[in-house]
Amino acid sequence: MAAADLSRDLEPQRGYLLRVARLQLRDDALAEDVVQETLLAALAGSGFSGKSSLRTWLTGILKHKIVDAIRKKQREPTVAAAFGDIESEMDIEDFDAMFNERGGWDPKPAEWGNPQDALNQRQFLDVMDICLEKLPPNTARVFVMREVMELETDEICKELTISANNLWVILYRARMALRLCLEQNWFART
């Protein structure tokens, strides 16, 4: 892809990248900086081969920039981060209706077909973004840190000042909520 074409195609991705960065960093100025660094790296490296979508490629670059920013923040002495009351965001009992008295699914999850095929569809990624935006902010942040940015448990716990048990409960809540959202908004349609 020519540099001029790449430059033109990057600008529409800025809003998405900024939403992801703000969700993770909770600092508007730092999020702007990280997105700017991502776009500059994309232009400078011009390693986009077209094997994935432009958004996927940029998200990969952004992921590394966010991880660098988080690690830099961890090295700096700070006052305890205000992560908010994550326990009040979602309650595990919110998902009780999904199971019968013996612990089985009620109703059974919808057939998802081949998940890899869904991931290759632009519309699925749009629905996934919408489902992530419906999650409570801190729950979405934890999910993205673990599943998109692939941070380790101890890194997430240290950044958010939560225990590993809290992390796994939050991830469970996020996955259950995303499952419901995707079933209602994607798999029920197809």
* Interval 66-95: pLDDT, tens: 888 887 876 665 444 444 555 555 555 666
Query: Does the reported pTM lie above 0.75?
Result: no
CA 35 to CA 17: how far, in whole Å?
A: 6
The mean per-residue pLDDT over the stretch 24-33 comes to 87
CA 68 to CA 96: how far, in whole Å?
A: 38
| Of the listed ranges 19-23, 34-38, 98-102, 150-154, the one predicted with least confidence | 98-102
Alpha carbon separation from 163 to 56, 73, 86, 154, 166 (Å, rounded): 31, 19, 12, 9, 5
Q: Is residue 63 within 8 Å of residue 148, measured between CB atoms?
A: yes
Helix residue spans in the chain (DSSP H): 3-10, 14-25, 28-45, 54-75, 115-119, 122-134, 137-143, 153-160, 164-182
The two domains 1-78 and 83-190 share their CATH topology (first three levels equal): no
CA 69 to CA 85: how far, in whole Å?
A: 24
| Token pair for 7 | 């430059």
The residue extents of the domains of the chain are 1-78, 83-190
Give the orientation angle of helix 54-75 with respect to helix 28-45, to 10 degrees.
Answer: 130
* CATH-assigned architecture of domain 83-190: Orthogonal Bundle (1.10)
The mean per-residue pLDDT over the stretch 118-134 comes to 77
| Of the listed ranges 110-114, 136-140, 152-156, the one predicted with least confidence | 110-114
> For residue 92, how many C-alpha atoms fall within 13 Å in the half-sphere facing its CB?
6
Nearest by Cα to 151 from 72, 55, 87, 67: 67
Q: How many Å separate Cα 186 from the centre of its chain?
A: 18
Q: Specify the fold of 1-78.
A: Rna Polymerase Sigma Factor; Chain: A (1.10.1740)
pLDDT > 70? residue 118: no
Please, what is the average pLDDT of the chain?
78
Q: How does 118-143 read in b/e, with b if 16+ C-beta sit within 10 Å?
A: beeeeebeebbeebbeebbebbbbbb
Task: Look at residue 33 in the predicted model and tell me its pLDDT.
Answer: 93
The mean per-residue pLDDT over the stretch 45-63 comes to 79
Task: Look at residue 185 in the predicted model and tell me its pLDDT.
Answer: 82
